[in-house]
Amino acid sequence: MLRVLRSYGDDEANTENATTLMMRLGGPNAPGQHGIHWHTNPGLVIEYVASDADRQTIPWVRVTRPDGSVQDCVADGTTAGRIPSDECRTMDCLDCHNTIAHRIEVSAEAAVDRALARGALPRSLPYLRRESVRLLQASHASTDVALAAIDEGLRGFYKSESAVDAASVGRAVSALRAVYERNVFPTMKVTFGVYPDNIGHTSSQGCFRCHDGSHAAKDGSSITSDCESCHRMLDEVP
């Protein structure tokens, strides 16, 4: 699967930067059963122990393969006392896909970049990325107060900018308020990044909880940390 990750600069032009990845999804029917969904091979049993309630620190992993062979991989510096035997969990889809319902963006920057990429926020407005992130990161006592501050803040900024299209400013205000309402709930103390997202490894440990190169078996082998086992970076954006 081709995936294009778009991010934007805080400069006047909201300059776009695109990273193109060819994702190696893999799966039970893939040749050699390699790739991201290698973990879903029905002939495999992957068990692990996490040392924290959020399952972000994983000191021990066991893989049982279709031929019956078993391999235990232990993270560097892990002592037997850090592997509670009664906390062993069999890996399933939710260990990676842990934000499948109401997904809270990992950061204000990521939320704004996504809105710019889909055209909800108009890139024609100078410094829109910078100002949007600033307004989303502010703390407010309630959603109503926040929405009013976003409206006032964005319109106030563009009053000082000449030759700015008023309709575009109005569209930006509406889109930014929608981003806030989707991700921030002041009374519940929920905001960007409050929940770890285990898909990937840019905002939390994610894949690196196990694929960090430090989880080694007694025979000297280790859980791979090779980037290209999951994706390959392409030079051009289609």
What pLDDT score was predicted for residue 85?
A: 65
Give me the pLDDT at residue 83, please: 66
pLDDT of residue 53: 86
Whole-number pLDDT of residue 209: 92
Rounded alpha-carbon distances, angstroms, from residue 185 to 192, 214, 232: 10, 38, 37
| pLDDT value of position 125 | 96
Instruction: Going from the first residue of the chain to its last (238 residues), give the mean pLDDT of each consecutive group of 10, the final group possibly shorter.
Output: 92 95 77 76 90 89 92 86 73 89 90 97 96 97 97 94 89 98 95 88 86 91 87 77
**What pLDDT is recorded for position 129?**
98
